[in-house]
């Protein structure tokens, strides 16, 4: 059922100074993650700024990552949209390009009902053969996918295989896990880097991570230690990363993580408007968190 187990990176989309996508840098980042423990790469998920991209360049970015990976690591294409037709187009095109799976955020702004969520996802699932990960992040979308809705979708569509849970509501996630214990139709991934261990303790199988952009091996190791039964080590690593994780979300994602990568000399370029550069005080906080965590910054 699982597309991957462990730490998948919610990869940033690198830009040139003129805000065009830097496809050569996408290829470099794919190699970076393959060489540093990442278990899957999510391309043009919400961290990858797809809402500011045309469908054509969005798909070009997915195709670039697929070609660079050469099936050495699963490439999961972010294909969520608040327009079901657009999501259908990006989903079917991603399948043709060779993606290994799809990540589909709940429709944002529309604030559809649970019935609307079901109709949206069933329609999308019927249009492709690829495995689909649902993505619940109500703080960004304005709609909360209830546990019962997620489980119903898993029962209705055999290619809906997992949910990325970023509600932050551990009680809701526990309820989802309880329902899945009775009827295990899908897997759970943490969508929050500060809840990797708590969600795995409820039966989750990993994380779709922003932290993995800058600390891929460490994020993988948090998961692997848990899987290996060394819960003490996994918990220790989770807590040691907490200050950095908080700094990575002190402004709206992906502003801090792209800033951090540039501080590290990874040269992922600017953010696309309407996202903007960090407040200097937050930037200093981020810089301190990186160095305190032991990450070397570029001079």
- The answer to the question of residue 259 being in a domain is no
Give CA separation, 231 vs 2, 98, 224, 234, 263, in Å: 22, 36, 10, 5, 32
189 noted as active-site residue: no
- Is residue 2 over pLDDT 90? no
CA 59 – CA 53 distance, rounded (Å):
9
Give CA separation, 14 vs 21, 32, 52, 207, 273, in Å: 6, 13, 13, 22, 14
Q: With the CA atoms of 123, 206, 181 and 76 taken in that order, what torsion angle do they form, in degrees rounded to the nearest 10? A: 20
- The answer to the question of residue 18 being in a domain is yes
pLDDT digits (tens, 9 = 90+) for 213-229: 999 999 999 999 999 99
Is residue 39 a contact partner of residue 8, using CB atoms and an 8 Å limit?
Answer: yes
pLDDT digits (tens, 9 = 90+) for 34-55: 999 999 999 999 999 999 999 9
- The answer to the question of residue 242 being in a domain is no
Cβ-based burial of 199 (10 A; exposed 0-12, middle 13-18, buried ≥19): buried
**Closest of 100, 23, 84 to residue 56, by C-alpha:** 23
**The pLDDT value given to residue 22:** 98
pLDDT digits (tens, 9 = 90+) for 231-282: 999 999 999 999 999 999 999 999 999 999 999 999 999 999 999 999 999 9
Residue 130 belongs to what domain range?
6-230
SS3 177: helix
Centroid of chain to Cα 252: 15
- The answer to the question of residue 267 being in a domain is no
**What CATH number should be reported for the domain holding residue 97?**
3.20.20.70
**Which residue among the candidates 135, 152, 189, 293 is catalytic per the annotation?**
135
- The answer to the question of residue 258 being in a domain is no
**Closest of 136, 127, 103 to residue 4, by C-alpha:** 103
pLDDT digits (tens, 9 = 90+) for 53-110: 999 999 999 999 999 999 999 999 999 999 999 999 999 999 999 999 999 999 999 9
CA 72 – CA 74 distance, rounded (Å):
7
**The pLDDT value given to residue 35:** 98
Mean pLDDT for the stretch of residues 113-118: 98
pLDDT band for position 8 (cuts 50, 70, 90): very high
pLDDT digits (tens, 9 = 90+) for 119-150: 999 999 999 999 999 999 999 999 999 999 99
**The pLDDT value given to residue 1:** 62
- The answer to the question of residue 34 being in a domain is yes
Mean pLDDT for the stretch of residues 13-30: 98
**Which residue among the candidates 164, 189, 258, 293 is catalytic per the annotation?**
164
135 noted as active-site residue: yes
Contacts of 85 (CB under 8 A, 6+ apart): none
Token pair belonging to 118: 């079901």
- The answer to the question of residue 241 being in a domain is no
- Domain total in the chain: 1
pLDDT band for position 32 (cuts 50, 70, 90): very high
- The answer to the question of residue 243 being in a domain is no
């Amino acid at each position: 059922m699982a597309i991957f187990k462990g730490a998948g990176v919610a990869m940033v989309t690198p830009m040139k100074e003129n805000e065009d996508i830097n496809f050569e840098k996408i290829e470099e980042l794919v190699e970076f993650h393959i060489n540093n423990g990442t278990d899957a790469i999510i391309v043009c998920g919400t961290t990858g700024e797809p809402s500011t991209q045309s469908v054509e360049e969005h798909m070009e970015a997915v195709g670039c990552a697929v070609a660079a990976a050469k099936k050495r690591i699963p490439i999961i294409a972010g294909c969520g949209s608040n327009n079901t037709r657009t999501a259908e187009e990006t989903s079917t095109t991603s399948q043709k390009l060779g993606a290994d799976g799809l990540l589909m955020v709940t429709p944002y702004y529309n604030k559809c009902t649970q019935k609307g969520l079901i109709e949206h996802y069933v329609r999308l699932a019927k249009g492709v053969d690829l495995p689909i990960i649902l993505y619940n992040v109500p703080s960004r979308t304005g709609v909360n996918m209830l546990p019962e809705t997620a489980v119903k979708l898993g029962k209705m569509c055999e290619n809906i295989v997992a949910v990325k849970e970023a509600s932050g509501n551990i009680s809701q996630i526990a309820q989802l896990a309880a329902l899945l214990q009775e009827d295990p139709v899908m897997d759970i991934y943490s969508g929050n880097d500060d809840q990797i261990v708590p969600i795995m303790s409820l039966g989750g199988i990993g994380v779709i991570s922003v932290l993995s952009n800058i600390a891929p091996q460490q994020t993988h190791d948090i998961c692997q230690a848990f899987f290996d039964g060394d819960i003490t080590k996994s918990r220790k690593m989770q807590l040691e990363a907490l200050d950095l994780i908080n700094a990575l979300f002190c402004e709206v994602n992906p502003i801090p993580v792209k800033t951090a990568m540039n501080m590290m000399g990874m040269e992922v370029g600017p953010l696309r408007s309407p996202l903007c550069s960090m407040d200097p005080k937050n930037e200093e906080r981020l810089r301190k968190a990186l160095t305190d965590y032991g990450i070397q910054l570029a001079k």
